[in-house]
Amino acid sequence: MIDEAARLAAAVDQAKLPAGADRAALAAGVADAVSIFRRDAAEPRAAELRAELSRLLAISERNPDQLPTAMDALSPGARSWLATRRDALLRPGRALLMPGPGVPAAVAARTIVMLLVAGFEVAPDRNRPGGKKSRLFIKVKLRMSPARAGAPKKESILTLVMWLQIAWLDATGEPPSATAHHDNKGPFCRFVESVLTIVSPYNKNTAYYINKLHSRQKKLHSRQKSPVRRFLLKYELPRND
């Protein structure tokens, strides 16, 4: 299987660029754009992070001996959240021992509870058919904002498209087309599609992302030219003819 770097290099080589374009500059811009995309896409969604930390809390309550293994399996985003929370709770004379070798399970479990639990609330009982009431139960409140609907993956793809626009400008000296048509794709749209096929195979609707980005740019500014296109034009490089 051809590695990603080789496939991206092939996409750059096959891009339909105007005469005099700098393919080396395009390749460098694509590498930067993909690096930013990988970093953004690796961040878990709020709902995913909340679910991950909820599972960790459940393990600390039911099987604290398994906490070291559970900690090793955490995503980078969850690790970062726990580390930030731990630093915020540190006080002189207070020890917060994270799960690990040599740390008693009970101590590690208490640390996880301190990091994750903001409080408790009693869920009200409800009347059921037949006159019976459901039992009261205690609901744990995590130290996190409620999970919100959203698609960070879509946001990371829109950011990728924006950086590919900048890479195209650096290579050609001209900003790419701000819009695209599903049935009549231009050179830039086909190029973005080739990159998306490599880095995010399940998101091939390239025209949608280009048009979505353009629509957002129009909403952010009342003038004809959008902020990103104005940025591209501002940093337009001189052509080497």
CA distances from 64 to 56, 58, 90 (A): 10, 9, 22
Alpha-carbon span 7 to 197, nearest angstrom: 10
Q: Which residues pair with 139 in a beta bridge?
A: 121
Can you tell me whether residue 176 is helix, strand or coil? Answer: coil
Half-sphere exposure of 204 (CA within 13 A, CB side): 5
Angle at 189 between CA 187 and CA 191, to 5 degrees: 70
CA distances from 103 to 66, 69, 93, 95, 98 (A): 12, 13, 18, 12, 8
Condensed to tens digits (0 to 9), the pLDDT of residues 27-36 reads: 999 999 998 8
Condensed to tens digits (0 to 9), the pLDDT of residues 19-53 reads: 889 999 999 999 999 988 887 776 666 777 888 88
Residue 89 confidence (pLDDT): 73
Least confident interval from 31-40, 79-88, 123-132, 194-203: 123-132
**pTM strictly above 0.85:** no
Residue 80 pLDDT exceeds 50: yes
Residue 149 confidence (pLDDT): 44
Residue 45 has φ and ψ, to the nearest 5°, of -65, 160
Alpha-carbon span 225 to 39, nearest angstrom: 29
